[in-house]
Chains A and B, each alone.
Chain A
Amino acid sequence: EPEVTQTPSHQVTQMGQEVILRCVPISNHLYFYWYRQILGQKVEFLVSFYNNEISEKSEIFDDQFSVERPDGSNFTLKIRSTKLEDSAMYFCASRERSSYNSPLHFGNGTRLTVT
């Protein structure tokens, strides 16, 4: 069964450094998402992306964050200058259609640790 893949599984970085989290969505999916989950807290929506542009973003997704689809397969989340509070699990997800009943498929996540 096709799946969303994320790399790396664990990223450790120093405060102030830039990180790029990578995702390969399912090949025929057109809608892409990033979520994060701080340890012990709920899963939070960050951003949705369609047709090479952001379609929606949350308050969390400030100027330090950006997303990109650099080629036909990868979808990346960049954090320009990481803060301690950016430490979390980051999940990429994709869906085939925009309709409300099109299920969202999650990747296995990248655990980001900012020291």
Chain B
Amino acid sequence: QKEVEQNSGPLSVPEGAIASLNCTYSDRGSQSFFWYRQYSGKSPELIMSIYSNGDKEDGRFTAQLNKASQYVSLLIRDSQPSDSATYLCAVNYKLSFGAGTTVTVRA
């Protein structure tokens, strides 16, 4: 079983819509969860971190964590073409990464 699994996508959404990204993890003892954005050929850029169950909002981004279900998600509201990138879910301080979900926002 992979440590961190994400829908591989690609996910295509129209500009202004909500993009919904999902991630599951295998280590029930995991304490920290991160969403990174990675543009092609660039390094991962941290956009959200979440440590406790529930929702955490930061601008147009909302992260949701459910430890009982070992599930973390990211919502991107009012999607913009500049949000087109690969979104990486990462777990724990050492960062076990998922394979990423590629998002394309259509203008």
Chain A residues with a Cβ under 8 A of chain B: 33, 35, 41-45, 48, 56, 89, 91, 95, 98-109, 111
Contacts and interface: CB of A to CB of B under 8 A. Distances in A.
B69 interface: no
Interface stretch (B14-22, B60-68, B73-81, B86-94): B86-94
Closest 10 CB pairs of A and B: A100-B32, A106-B43, A43-B97, A42-B99, A100-B93, A100-B31, A109-B43, A42-B97, A108-B43, A106-B44
A106 B88 CA distance: 14
A101 B32 contact: yes
A45 B44 contact: no
A49 to B, nearest CB: 12
Contacts of A105: 46
Interface of B: 31-32, 34, 38, 41-46, 49, 51, 88, 90, 92-100
29 contacts: A33-B94, A33-B95, A42-B88, A42-B97, A42-B99, A43-B38, A43-B44, A43-B95, A43-B97, A44-B97, A45-B94, A91-B43, A98-B93, A100-B51, A100-B92, A100-B93, A101-B49, A101-B51, A102-B93, A103-B46, A104-B34, A104-B93, A105-B46, A106-B45, A107-B43, A108-B43, A109-B42, A109-B43, A111-B41
Listed residue (A33, A42, A109) with the most chain B CB atoms within 10 angstroms of its CB: A42
Contact of B94 (A56, A99, A108, A111): A56
